[in-house]
Chain A
Amino acid sequence: MTAPTTTSADTATRSVRALRTPGGLSVRVDPRAALVTVLVGAAAVAVGVVLIGSGDYPLSFGQVVDTLLGNGTAAQEFVVRDLRLPRALVAVLVGASLALSGAIFQSLSRNPLGSPDVIGFSHGASVGALSVIVLSGGSALTVSLGAVAGGLATGALVYTLAWRRGVHGLRLVLVGIGVAAMLSAVIHFLVTKANLVDATRATLWMTGSLDGRDWAQVGPLALVLAVLVPVTLVHGRPLRMLEMGDDAAYALGVPLERTRIVLIGCGVLFIAVATGAAGPIAFVALSAPQLARRLTRAPGPNLAAAAVMGAALLLAADWIATEAFPGRQLPVGVVTGVLGGCYLLWLLVTERRAGRL
């Protein structure tokens, strides 16, 4: 069963198989996309093991695997299980959330730059967290809750302001940009109001960091993702239809506004919990879906591939942050910021040459 699919991204004929069950159900399977997802997932696991093995108490690849399987010494058990594994898991969960959020909003806005860190949602989360830091000097948990509340409030605000007999993707983006500009003024205001200690803490938080994340963060994150990821994946098909334009999607039987509100809700929740857990880590949401799309060469949002790509990216960035300057731990947000700048340049060159963007 081969079906020629032509897309705006590539015009090559691709083989897409349909798996049929005896009961008469059928599922379309894109072998390349599936292969890419598996390979990137394997790479993420490998990078994760390397990340767990690196630091002030280095462990070899084999030692880490042994320890994870329960055959390590007590010291190794402590370092791996209590210190580094939760951090790596937070990186995986946050990376996947950011990437899924980016994939959703890039698809909805039909623009590779329309990711949530550009159109204001992570600004909202930052305002929430900074308010907690500056006004009450709260604990890590209340800062996270502030970020989630800020992100959700911003999502609701942008959606309401962009509403005009339905929410158009472009209007959503532009309203988001306007709200983002206002919110960054609020962020600056909060930073100038703070004393130097709080200002440093706020700036550190705004860079995005995985330092000191433990099992207390992993649990809630995993719980939220366990609910959101299936919902998002189920809406992958309607989202792909929406990319073809409202009229085409409507004709194909997609309930426009309901799909959009569910997806926007999921996207905002993803970015809010990710920001709450690790701060506004730049550019993972922007670049992971694009890299996934280029590797799978499949049309549509490529949600599964984007999620594993986000996890792999954040793990790799955290590893670079740990290893780049021996004896000095950079916040991971600095690394993703620099990589993101390079990615923007690359986008600039390739997309210009291809005459699209």
Chain B
Amino acid sequence: MLVESPPRESAEPAAAPAVPGRRALRTAGLAVAVAVLLLLCVASIAVGAKPVPVSEVWHGLFHYSGTANDVVIRDVRVPRTLLGLVAGVGLGLAGAVMQALTRNPLADPGLLGINAGASAAVVSAITFLGVTSLGGYVWFAFAGAAVVSAAVYVLGGSRGATPVRLALAGTAATAALYGYINAVQLLDAAALERLRFWTVGSLSTADLRTVLTILPFVAAGALLALLLARPLNAMEMGDDTARALGAHLTRTRVLAMVCVTLLCGAATAACGPIVFVGLMVPHVVRAVTGPDMRWVLPYCAVLAPVLLLGADVLGRVVTRPAELQVGIVTALIGGPVFVQLVRRKRMAQL
């Protein structure tokens, strides 16, 4: 029922006019992306302070016999890889949904202060309420993410929001929240000792229980995102056109916010604030698939974990045997990408 979105100008040769051929290409591309993701999973299990040969990876996964390598794989590397997968899916989908919802190419859960909101709520829960388990503070992360995303949306001018306004509102909110987080950490040295690692964004503390705790939330959010693909497609054409096409604007907006809150809140609660994954991946994806959300979302769900796991593996390799937290690696990769996006003329004039 929805007409094919107007093809965006891109240098990508894949944007051929014949629709069936394009679909085959997109499916093939998705298959390649999944293959890359699987390879990275193996790499993520094999690479680290103690390198494990690939043959042993297979052994540890399917013929567990309790050797040192098997223990490393089963108790450390596998949960960490799974957490990277789940959190990556969450961050990537959240970024794509936010960019479509705000019609703003610079929307990112990190830049818009949502991660900082979840962090502030988690820090409060840990310090003041003595909540220590992930299952306890994941709810605070959701609450913080929800409140801050609503506040930034309003502060940024809601429907009249421009990229600059939203980015400024998000950064200002982040500044305020980090001031608060710093103050809390100062008043309690023990909290600082625990929190200074969490506030970086890292996968290194992963265990299987963490993954299982956030999995239902990310799964629900991901399902919601995929269901919203069509209405979001309609909304990208502007409110009037969307209404004419039969999209329910308010319901879509509210559901999209719920979806973003679920995805970002869960990812942030488990790994701490990670910026730029949600920003970069949808841009790369749109250059390949065009603006159709029905393709953008699945691609994001595959490529965001690729980025996150890739950054994590990179962080483990560059300063071996110590490691660089994944949040730092993504920020250092993402910053230049962001600046490049901004320097493009079309973007700066938005």
Contact = CB atoms under 8 A, between A and B. Distances in A.
Contacts of A111: 164-165, 168
Contact of A181 (B164, B179, B275): B275
Interface string B332-350: 1011101100110101100
Task: Identify which of A114, A207, A340, A357 gathers the most chain B CB atoms within 10 Å of its CB.
Answer: A357
Contact of A207 (B179, B343, B345): B179
Contacts of B339: 161, 175, 178-179
A180 interface: yes
Interface string A61-103: 0000000000000000000000000000000000000000000
Contacts of B172: 113, 118, 286, 344
Contacts of A206: 182
Interface stretch (B3-11, B121-129, B320-328): B320-328
Contacts of A117: 175
B63 to A, nearest CB: 37
A180 B343 CA distance: 16
A159 interface: no
Contacts of A119: 171
A337 interface: yes
Interface string B280-311: 00000000000000000000000000000000
A34 B134 CA distance: 56
Interface stretch (A165-173, A210-218, A236-244, A249-257): A165-173
Contact of A334 (B169, B179, B200): B179
A337 B343 contact: no
A270 interface: no
A36 interface: no
A340 B154 contact: no
B157 interface: yes
A28 interface: no
29 contacts: A118-B171, A164-B348, A173-B167, A178-B335, A178-B339, A178-B342, A181-B275, A181-B276, A181-B335, A184-B178, A186-B328, A188-B201, A188-B325, A189-B200, A191-B196, A192-B197, A192-B200, A192-B325, A200-B186, A204-B186, A331-B183, A331-B186, A337-B180, A341-B179, A341-B180, A344-B176, A348-B151, A348-B154, A357-B157
Chain A CB count within 10 A is highest, among B155, B171, B178, B179, for B179
B155 A357 contact: yes
Nearest to A123: B175
Closest 8 pairs (CB-CB, A-B): A337-B179, A182-B335, A185-B331, A113-B168, A178-B338, A174-B342, A188-B200, A171-B348
B173 interface: yes
Given A175-B339, A357-B155, A357-B157, A118 B168 contact: yes
B173 A164 contact: no
A344 B338 CA distance: 26
B26 to A, nearest CB: 30
Given A188-B201, A334-B179, 9 more contacts: A111-B165, A174-B163, A174-B348, A185-B327, A185-B335, A192-B325, A283-B175, A340-B176, A344-B172
A203 interface: yes
A185 B338 contact: no
**Which residue among B175, B201, B275 has the maximum number of chain A CB atoms within 10 Å of its CB?**
B175
A196 interface: yes
Specify which of B169, B171, B201 lies most central, judged by the most chain A CB atoms within 10 Å of its CB.
B171
A59 B200 CA distance: 45
B187 to A, nearest CB: 9
A230 to B, nearest CB: 30
Interface string A335-356: 0011011001001100010000
A132 B259 CA distance: 42
A196 B183 contact: no
A16 interface: no
A175 B339 CA distance: 5
B167 to A, nearest CB: 5
B197 to A, nearest CB: 6
B166 to A, nearest CB: 10
A185 B328 CA distance: 5
A117 B106 CA distance: 20
Contact of A196 (B193, B201, B325): B193
Task: Give the contact-size bracket for chain B.
Answer: 35 or more
B328 A340 contact: no
A77 B93 CA distance: 64
B200 A337 contact: no
A282 interface: yes
Nearest to B201: A188
Interface string B59-83: 0000000000000000000000000
B233 interface: no
A229 interface: no
Contacts of A189: 200, 324-325, 328
Given A199-B196, A206-B182, A181 B342 contact: no
Contacts of B327: 185, 188
A174 B342 CA distance: 7
B155 A344 contact: yes
Interface string B104-148: 001000110000000000000000000000000000000000000
Contacts of A127: none
A171 B200 contact: no
B254 interface: no
A267 interface: no
Nearest to A345: B151
Contacts of B111: 177, 181
Contacts of B99: none
A182 B201 CA distance: 13
A277 to B, nearest CB: 18
Could you say which of B197, B199, B325, B348 has the most chain A C-beta atoms within 10 Å of its C-beta?
Answer: B348
A240 B179 CA distance: 32
B180 A199 contact: no
